């Protein structure tokens, strides 16, 4: 299986970004207003604001994604991370996060943060494994998601 990392560039990528995220969100939670806003127009809500959406492809098919959403002062949110269910547990998510960290540094990010959920223990463990630290939510920009109850950051 040939794995490739790249930025989102096409309408097909935007569709894959939406579908990959809707799959994991609706499996355990429900789509929230902010999900609909971001997934409905990632160009306007992320890229036009100076962020990046990163895609991972396997044999030419989009199988994963993650977004770097700019905040103030060189802080970026790592958000909307997803890997196709049939490819989970193969190390693709870890490689995707490592790629995102490299891209964040290229953007000049000083730190990354994220909100996750205790209902996603594999995701939380992955974030811990690559170096994210648990922090109280007050240390981070406000999180719009009801499902978020795990808050983490990483200094770059």
120 located within any domain? no
- Compute the mean pLDDT over every residue in the chain, rounded to the nearest whole number: 96
Let me know if residue 139 belongs to a domain: no
Note the pLDDT tens digit of each residue in 72-95: 999 999 999 999 999 998 999 999
Residue 53 vs residue 60, higher pLDDT: 53
Q: What is the pTM of this model?
A: 0.96
Write out the residue range of the structural domain in which residue 81 sits.
3-113
95 inside domain: yes
Task: Give one DSSP letter per residue of 24-65, joined into a string.
Answer: HHHHHS---HHHHHHHH-HHHHTGGGT-EEEEEEETTEEEEE
CATH label of the domain that carries residue 51: 3.40.630.30
122 falls within a domain = no
Q: Is residue 35 included in any domain, yes or no?
A: yes
Instruction: Classify residue 59: in a domain, yes or no.
Output: yes
Q: Count up the domains in the chain and report the number.
A: 1
Per-residue pLDDT of 105-147, as tens digits, reads: 999 999 999 999 999 999 999 999 999 999 999 999 999 999 9
């Amino acid at each position: 299986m040939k794995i490739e990392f790249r930025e989102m560039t096409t309408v097909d990528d935007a569709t894959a970004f939406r579908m990959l995220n809707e799959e994991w969100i609706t499996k355990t939670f429900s789509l929230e207003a902010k999900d609909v806003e971001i997934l409905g127009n990632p160009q306007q809500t992320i890229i036009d604001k100076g962020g990046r959406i990163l895609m991972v492809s396997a044999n030419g098919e989009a199988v994963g994604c993650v977004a770097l959403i700019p905040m103030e002062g060189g802080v970026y949110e790592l958000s909307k991370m997803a890997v196709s269910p049939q490819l989970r547990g193969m190390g693709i998510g870890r490689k995707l996060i490592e790629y995102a960290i490299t891209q964040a540094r290229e953007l000049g990010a000083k730190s990354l943060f994220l909100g996750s959920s205790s209902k996603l223990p594999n995701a939380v463990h992955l974030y811990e494994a690559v170096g994210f630290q648990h922090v109280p939510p007050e240390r981070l920009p406000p999180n719009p998601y009801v499902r978020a109850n795990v808050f983490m950051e990483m200094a770059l």
